Amino acid sequence: MNFRTLLVVLTGMTLALGAVAFSQKPATGAMETAASAPEQPTGKVEKSAEEWKNVLTPEQFRILREAGTEAANGPVYAEFKKQGGGTYYCAGCNAELFSSVEKFDSRCGWPSFYDPSKAENVVSRTDMSGGVMRTEVLCAKCGGHLGHVFTGEGFGTPTDKRYCINGVALKFVPAKEREEAEKK
Ligand code: FE
């Protein structure tokens, strides 16, 4: 084996080790996107923790199934701010939840909406965790934790509500250009 061959082999081994290390790291938490609207669940979506782990990234599982919270002002928020028109679905069960119509810039570090786009798919309940009373927002179809809703903060929106949602819990489908034009 000459020096060049040895170098190629060593580089290959380093890359392979890097790939293994990378795949074991928890997902950094990009928002899932899809080209077209996913098929809607017809009823409740129930899965065991193991089944959810098979279909969700570790970060999606932590948020949706363990009521976790993604880092504020993270890459998902930057992505959300750049997104144009489109619809946001549950990353767990594909139920339609929000749309760009109700999206607003609250500068809070998490995707914000003033209302769901499909109200029957979004439910809320009192959350006393952390010693403060908040209103938790969940997907009505799969029970996945989405975030919290706050009222009366003075944002100049039609509802004065801020649905503060973890971007990792959402799946974004950009609007087709024609739909965009029709909305204007
Ligand atoms: Fe869901």
What confidence tens digit (pLDDT) does each residue in 119-166 have? Answer: 999 999 999 998 999 999 999 999 999 999 999 999 999 999 999 999
Q: Which two tokens stand for residue 33?
A: 């996107």
Q: Which two tokens stand for residue 70?
A: 């993604």
Q: Which two tokens stand for residue 53?
A: 């782990």
Close Cβ partners of 47 (under 8 Å, ≥ 6 residues apart): 55, 142
What's the gap in Å between 93 CA and the centre of ligand 1? 4
CA distance 87 to 33: 10
What's the gap in Å between 106 CA and the centre of ligand 1? 24
CA distance 72 to 98: 19
What's the gap in Å between 144 CA and the centre of ligand 1? 5
Q: What is the pLDDT along the chain (184 residues), one digit of tens a residue?
A: 565 655 555 555 544 444 443 433 335 578 999 999 999 999 999 999 999 999 999 999 999 999 999 999 999 999 999 999 999 999 999 999 999 999 999 999 999 999 999 999 999 999 999 899 999 999 999 999 999 999 999 999 999 999 999 999 999 999 986 565 666 6
Closest CA to 77 of 31, 138, 144, 25: 31
CATH number for the segment(s) 43-183:
2.170.150.20
Catalytic-residue membership of 142:
no
What's the gap in Å between 120 CA and the centre of ligand 1? 12
CA distance 67 to 143: 10
User: Which of these is catalytic: 93, 139, 142, 164?
Assistant: 164
Q: What distances in angstroms separate CA 173 from CA 1, 12, 79, 119, 131, one per listed residue?
A: 52, 37, 13, 18, 36
What's the gap in Å between 102 CA and the centre of ligand 1? 19
Spatial contact of 111 and 72, defined as CB atoms under 8 Å apart: no
